[in-house]
Amino acid sequence: MSDLSRFPITKKWPAARPDVLQLYSLPTPNGVKVSIALEETGLPYEPHLVSFETNDQLSPEFLSLNPNNKIPAIIDPNGPGGAPLPLFESGAILVYLADKTGQLMPTDPARRYETLQWLMFQMGGIGPMFGQVGFFHKFAGKDYEDKRPRDRYAAEARRLLGVLDKHLEGKAWIMGDEYTVADIAIFPWVRNINGFYAAGELVGYADFKQVDRVLQAFLARPAVQRGLTIPARPA
């Protein structure tokens, strides 16, 4: 049995199954990237809920794994060379899981880099910009009288959706017929801006028919449906 005792995070979230990958997360657009990838690959794992309501992400135990205090993070007891591997940043975790399982990433080197290109498009563009739209439209920012910040981020979110919509013309997925980590990274955020953030009208979501077509295909996948609810929130 793997010994994860050297990781302080296991004191707050004990591992019932220390021989499988440990996931520390919350079902947000960033968090579900990893739970969906794990469900898609079939890799055994144990999820642990990191509650923002109780500031779990700021606890010393969580910070020992991710000093940037963001979810998700993992410990793989069976990392490279057989040693446990702690890892944070959702994009890095997606690449790691794809490499570990030989799934969700093209084997052709050129197509691999193209997939990474779209993964970075989400990490550097869609995630931060859609998140700002959520803040200024749904959360504290909605009370600001000056709507210029909201409108700036809404315009950038619309531009990014346009880039994605044009790319998806005639394609089943970001990489054509091949479903990859790029889809898993991008579409939880697309779902969120039109769903939880309720900003579809603000960004003109109805204009992006190709984006919505692929989003619906994404949401129809059983692994996606499971991953969107993991880790389970308290009833």
Amino acid at 188: P
Q: Is the dihedral of CA 125, 29, 175, 98 positive or negative?
A: positive
How sure is the predictor about 142, in pLDDT bands with cuts at 50, 70 and 90? confident
Q: What is the DSSP string of 22-46?
A: EEEE-SSHHHHHHHHHHHHHT--EE
Q: What angle do CA 123, 126, 132 make, to 5 degrees?
A: 110
Burial of 95 (0-12, 13-18, 19+ CB in 10 A): buried
**What are the extents of the domains in the chain?**
9-103, 109-221
DSSP assignment, residue 176? Answer: B
C-beta atoms surrounding 206 within 10 Å: 10
Cα–Cα distance for residue pair 41/233, rounded to 1 Å: 23
Select the CATH number that applies to the domain covering 109-221 from these four: 1.20.1050.10, 3.30.2270.10, 3.40.50.1580, 3.40.710.10: 1.20.1050.10
DSSP assignment, residue 178? Answer: B
Q: Tally the C-alpha atoms within 13 A of residue 234's C-alpha that lie toward its C-beta.
A: 5
> In the predicted model, what is the mean pLDDT of the chain?
96
Fold classification of 9-103 (topology level) = Glutaredoxin (3.40.30)
Alpha-carbon torsion angle 217, 223, 228, 232, nearest 10? 160
Cα–Cα distance for residue pair 8/121, rounded to 1 Å: 33
> Which pLDDT score, from 0 to 100, does residue 64 have?
97
Residue range 50-64, pLDDT digits in tens: 999 999 999 999 999
Residue pair 188/29 in contact (Cβ under 8 Å)? The answer is yes
Cα–Cα distance for residue pair 192/209, rounded to 1 Å: 16
Which of left, alpha, beta for 168 (phi over 0: left; psi -120 to 50: alpha)?
Answer: alpha
Q: What angle do CA 177, 192, 199 make, to 5 degrees?
A: 120
Residue range 208-219, pLDDT digits in tens: 999 999 999 999
Question: Across residues 148-158, what is the average pLDDT?
Answer: 96
Cα–Cα distance for residue pair 66/60, rounded to 1 Å: 10
| pTM reported for the whole predicted model | 0.96
C-beta atoms surrounding 168 within 10 Å: 20
> Which pLDDT score, from 0 to 100, does residue 1 have?
60
Characterize the bridge pairing of strands 85-88 and 73-76: antiparallel
Residue range 65-76, pLDDT digits in tens: 999 999 999 999
